[in-house]
Amino acid sequence: MAYPLYLPGEPAPPEARPLSELPLLVLVGLTGVGKTSLLEALGYPTLPDRRELADRYVFPRYGYTEPPQDRSERFALTRRFRQEHPGGVAEILAQSRAVPAWPLLFDGLRGADEVRFALEHLPGSYFVVLEARDLTRLSRLLRRGDAFDRVRLEPTDQAALSELARGVLSEAELQEALSWGVPPQELTAKLKIVAEERKNYDPAGSRRVLWGHPRALFLDTEALDIAQEAAAIRALVERVHA
C-alpha cells in the first residue's frame, strides 16, 4: 500500500513528522532477493522505494528532467551522489517527513554506509536483511521480466561474459547459468546488473554492520518461502509494537 513521503524541500501536512523521529521498517538487500514478492505478502504501508527517491531527488540534482532508464547510467549517478553524501539514500530519508504509522516500510537500503548512517540517524528503524546467492538473484532477474532491468550492451559484452562473472559467480555457477538456455545477450545484460550491484553495494558490508544488532532480522530467501519470511517480520513488528 503506497504511503506518501515528503522529501527535503517538499511541502508536508502539519501532521507529518521527520522520519528520524518515527519507527521505520527497512528492507536491506540487492535486486533479486525477493523484496517485491515479500512486500505484496505483507501489505504494509510502504514509502516510495529507493528507485523513486533517486528519480525525485538524486537525478534532478544533476540536471535530469527525466530519470535515466539504463541501469549502468543510474549506478554511475547514484555512485556520484554517495561520494558527495556517504549515507546515500539513508541521508535522504533522515531529512524527509511522513505521517506517523506503524508498521511503515521502506524498500530499501544497500551497503555498509547506508545502513550505518540509518542506524545512527534513524534511531527508530528496524532492518530486515534479505539474502540470496548471486546465482539465485541472476535467475530471478531473468524470470521477472521487469522493463527496468536493462543496460546498454556493447558488442564485446558477450565475449567478456566469463570476465564479467569473475568475483560474482564461480565457474560451476557460470556453467549452470549457461545451461539455462537463456540467449547470451539476455544473460549478459542481467549478469551485468548483478555485477554492478555487487561492485557498488557489497552485501557483505551490510551484514558486517547489522549482524547481531538487536534492530536487525536476517532472512535467507532461498531457505524460506514467502509465508515464512512474512511471519518472521510480523513477529518482529508485534515485538516492537509491544
71-92 mean pLDDT: 92
Spatial neighbors of 182 by CB under 8 A, at least 6 apart, are: 142
Q: What is the mean pLDDT of residues 146-150?
A: 51
Taking residues 63-72, what's their average pLDDT?
Answer: 87
152-185 pLDDT, tens per residue?
555 555 556 778 888 889 889 988 888 887 887 8
Say if pTM beats, i.e. exceeds, 0.85.
yes
Run of H or E residues at 28: strand 24-28
List the single range of 5-9, 57-61, 152-156, 160-164 with lowest mean pLDDT. 152-156
The confidence score (pLDDT) of residue 40 equals 93
From the list 40, 197, 11, the residue with the least C-alpha distance to 107 is 40
Among 95-109, 192-206, 210-224, 226-240, whose mean pLDDT is lowest?
Answer: 192-206
pLDDT of residue 72 exceeding 90, the answer is no
Q: Where are the alpha helices (DSSP H) in the chain?
A: 35-42, 50-53, 71-84, 89-94, 111-121, 134-144, 161-165, 171-178, 184-200, 203-210, 226-241
**pLDDT tens digits for 90-139?**
999 999 999 999 999 999 899 999 999 999 999 999 999 999 999 999 99
> What's the mean per-residue pLDDT of the chain?
89
Q: pLDDT value at position 144? A: 67
| 3-state secondary structure at position 189 | helix
